[in-house]
């Protein structure tokens, strides 16, 4: 990487939390900014327009991050442009890397989603069935357009070649600082890799019974956090609350278990996992007893959205949509 890295950041279908994670580096960001020249950061931070990016030479940017999934034609278009204009492209955060929270929409069809959003929600009053249109001609002469809403949520790698993946929703700012340091120093794994320690959340969690030399016992039942609170110490899974630590990357330092919330998998799958939800049910099937699985099937009406909360578009079942 050159001394002053020309940097771009694009928000596609996301909440911009990952951009906040970069900003949350606070004083460390000031150090990082010595090496970064922000040439593009849209639509959130810099007053550089889409057209300015399109006008840049290919590979003009040394490094670019994308946060957000791909669902609108605008997302797809700008992601492709950014790929052409960047030497290194990073899928930053769970949405870009795995599809993220909006990825759960893939359980529903486009028609169902539109009907729910524009008609069926209890506070919506839409007697004339007005839905967004891709094109509208105003006053007989002004053609107004909206980006096209595509059939499925996709992740960045379904559109363009991705050089590095960073998990987290958002990535923990300590980890972001570390990742930025690695990038600035040029200390990077092979292209196509995740930037990660590779350790599971359990490995870095201080509630792990192995820290006391104890074995983890089978979890008893499957309790929901809406019904109760896990004890403050000891393994959350062992207390009978579903925690996805065993199959999730722990670059967050087990932030959620630290505050007595079970892990929900935003860090992405640990290396070697092809389908997050598939491997998760495999792990849970091993560590839970029969009563645990019974209760899981019983208490969670939307099991798919629980296990694939961040990772549905990246799963094997969505594979056929790949470029």
Partner 1 sequence: MSYTPNIVGFACQWCTYAGADLAGNLRAQYPSTVKLIRVPCSGRVEPEYVIEALSRGADGVFIGGCHFGDCHYKEGNYKTDRRMRLLSKLLSDMGIEPKRFRWDWISGAEGRRFAEVMEEFTEQLKALGPNPLRGE
Distance linking the first and last C-alpha atoms of the chain: 29
Could you give the string, one character per residue 180-219, with x where binding to partner 1 holds by CB under 8 A and - elsewhere? ----------------------------------------
Burial class (CB in 10 A: 0-12, 13-18, 19+), 302: exposed
232 and 260 Cβ atoms separated by less than 8 Å: yes
* In the complex, least distance from residue 295 CB atom to partner 1, rounded to whole angstroms: 12
Could you give the string, one character per residue 247-276, with x where binding to partner 1 holds by CB under 8 A and - elsewhere? --------------------------xxx-
| Residue 37 or 217 with smaller CB distance to partner 1 | 217
- For residues 8 and 23, what is the distance between their CA atoms, to the nearest angstrom? 14
- For residues 216 and 220, what is the distance between their CA atoms, to the nearest angstrom? 12
* In the complex, least distance from residue 292 CB atom to partner 1, rounded to whole angstroms: 8
| Residue 123 or 286 with smaller CB distance to partner 1 | 286
Could you give the string, one character per residue 273-312, with x where binding to partner 1 holds by CB under 8 A and - elsewhere? xxx-xxx-xx-xxx-x-x--x--xx-----xxx-xx----
237 and 215 Cβ atoms separated by less than 8 Å: no
* In the complex, least distance from residue 27 CB atom to partner 1, rounded to whole angstroms: 43
* In the complex, least distance from residue 312 CB atom to partner 1, rounded to whole angstroms: 8
User: What is the SS3 assignment for 239-290?
Assistant: CCECCCHHHEECCCCCHHHHCCCCCCCCCCECCCCCCHHHHHHHHHHHHECH
CA distances from 248 to 164, 224, 252, 253 (A): 17, 19, 10, 11
| Residue 55 or 217 with smaller CB distance to partner 1 | 217
Q: How many residues bind partner 1 (CB under 8 A)?
A: 27
9: which strand partners? Answer: 41, 65
* In the complex, least distance from residue 239 CB atom to partner 1, rounded to whole angstroms: 19
Looking only at residues 89 through 118 of this chain, which bind partner 1 when binding is defined by CB under 8 A? Answer: 107
Among 30, 57, 259, 320, indicate the residue that binds partner 1 (CB under 8 A).
320
Half-sphere exposure of 34 (CA within 13 A, CB side): 7
* In the complex, least distance from residue 100 CB atom to partner 1, rounded to whole angstroms: 17
| Residue 42 or 284 with smaller CB distance to partner 1 | 284
Token duo for residue 47: 């007053």
- For residues 182 and 186, what is the distance between their CA atoms, to the nearest angstrom? 6
* In the complex, least distance from residue 280 CB atom to partner 1, rounded to whole angstroms: 9
* In the complex, least distance from residue 278 CB atom to partner 1, rounded to whole angstroms: 4
- The secondary element (H helix, E strand) that includes residue 87 is strand 86-92
Give the binding range for partner 1 (CB under 8 A) out of 120-128, 234-242, 249-257, 315-323: 315-323
Binding residues (CB under 8 A) for partner 1: these are 107, 273-275, 277-279, 281-282, 284-286, 288, 290, 293, 296-297, 303-305, 307-308, 315-317, 319-320
């Amino acid at each position: 990487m050159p001394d002053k890295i020309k940097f771009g950041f694009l928000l596609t279908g996301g909440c911009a939390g990952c951009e906040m994670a970069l900003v949350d580096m606070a004083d460390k960001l000031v150090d990082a900014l010595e090496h970064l020249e922000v040439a593009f950061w849209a639509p959130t931070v810099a007053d550089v327009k889409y057209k300015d990016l399109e006008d840049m030479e290919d590979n003009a940017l040394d490094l670019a991050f994308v946060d957000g999934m791909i669902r609108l034609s605008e997302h797809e278009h700008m992601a492709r442009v950014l790929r052409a204009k960047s030497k290194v492209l990073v899928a930053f955060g769970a949405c870009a890397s795995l599809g993220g929270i909006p990825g759960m929409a893939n359980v529903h069809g486009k028609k169902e989603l539109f009907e729910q959003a524009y008609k069926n929600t209890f506070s919506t009053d839409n007697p004339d069935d007005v839905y967004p249109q891709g094109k509208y001609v105003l006053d007989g002469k002004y053609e107004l357009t909206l980006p096209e809403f595509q059939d499925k949520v996709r992740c960045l790698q379904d559109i363009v070649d991705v050089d590095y993946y960073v998990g987290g929703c958002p990535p923990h700012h300590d980890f972001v600082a570390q990742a930025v340091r690695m990038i600035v120093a040029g200390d990077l794994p092979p292209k196509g890799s995740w930037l990660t320690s590779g350790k599971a959340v359990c490995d870095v969690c201080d509630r792990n019974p192995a820290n006391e030399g104890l074995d983890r016992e089978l979890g008893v039942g499957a309790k929901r956090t809406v019904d109760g609170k896990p004890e403050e110490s000891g393994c959350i899974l062992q207390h009978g609350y579903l925690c996805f630590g065993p199959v999730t990357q722990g670059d967050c330092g087990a932030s959620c278990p630290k505050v007595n919330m079970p892990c929900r998998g935003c860090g992405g799958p640990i290396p070697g996992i092809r389908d997050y939800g598939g491997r998760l049910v495999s792990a849970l099937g091993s560590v839970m007893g029969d009563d645990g699985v019974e209760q899981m099937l019983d208490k969670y009406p939307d099991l798919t959205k629980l296990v694939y909360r961040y990772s549905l578009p990246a799963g094997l079942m969505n594979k056929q949509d790949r470029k």
